[in-house]
Amino acid sequence: MALDETRTSGTHSGGCTCGDCPHGARRGHRNAVAAFLAKRDELAAGNGLPAGVAQSPSASRQWVSDELTGSARAVAERAREAGDAW
């Protein structure tokens, strides 16, 4: 009953565990994973590389690695937040 009322009231805290809440930890983690996968796929397709690094294979690999590392850190942070809420 209380959970149903929370879902319909539209007010959720950052640690909401209802699963539907756009502010909830689960949703945030899913969004972070989706963003990581989208970035990975974009870079794998050769899109999004700055012109300055596109000319050098080693610079391109390093830049892609740095970008994906940053995205993975965001996923890990959301996972930690989700772990606390779950």
Contact 39, 68 (CB under 8 A): yes
Q: Would the pLDDT of 11 be above 80?
A: no
How does residue 3 score in pLDDT terms, banded at 50, 70 and 90? very low
Two tokens at 30? Answer: 């899913």
Percent of the chain with pLDDT over 90: 30
| Count of other CB atoms within 10 angstroms of residue 47 | 8
Predicted TM-score (pTM) of the model is 0.60
Q: Would the pLDDT of 69 be above 90?
A: yes
pLDDT per position as a tens digit, 28-60: 778 888 999 999 999 888 888 898 888 899 999
